[in-house]
Amino acid sequence: NQKLKIDRFQVDLKTEIINKPHPYVNPFRMDLTGTLYFQNDVGIFLSGIYGHDNYNYRFVDKGKQIFVGITFDIFPPMEIK
């Protein structure tokens, strides 16, 4: 019956700009993800995307997406002494 303790966190920011995009496509895209990992290497994440859609190029010109989920780190950081 141990309490879950936060072990580490991770923040990722990715940006992308399309050179010479189609006139109806937003050339900018930003992807921001924050993850909290607990001592058992299970974590929760929150991710947000703004801008063009990489998977539906020219079909969806711009948009906003939010994701929430659970993740597991199969290669956790090692401490070397």
pTM: 0.78
- Asked if pLDDT for residue 76 goes beyond 60, the answer is yes
Q: Each residue of 39-73: pLDDT tens digit?
A: 888 999 999 999 887 776 555 567 889 999 999 98
Instruction: Catalogue the long-range contacts made by 23-30 (C-beta closer than 8 Å, 24 or more residues apart).
Output: 24/58, 24/61, 25/52, 25/57, 25/58, 25/61, 25/62, 26/51, 26/52, 26/61, 26/62, 27/52, 28/52, 29/54
Query: How far apart (Å, rounded) are the C-alpha atoms in residues 3 and 63?
Result: 39
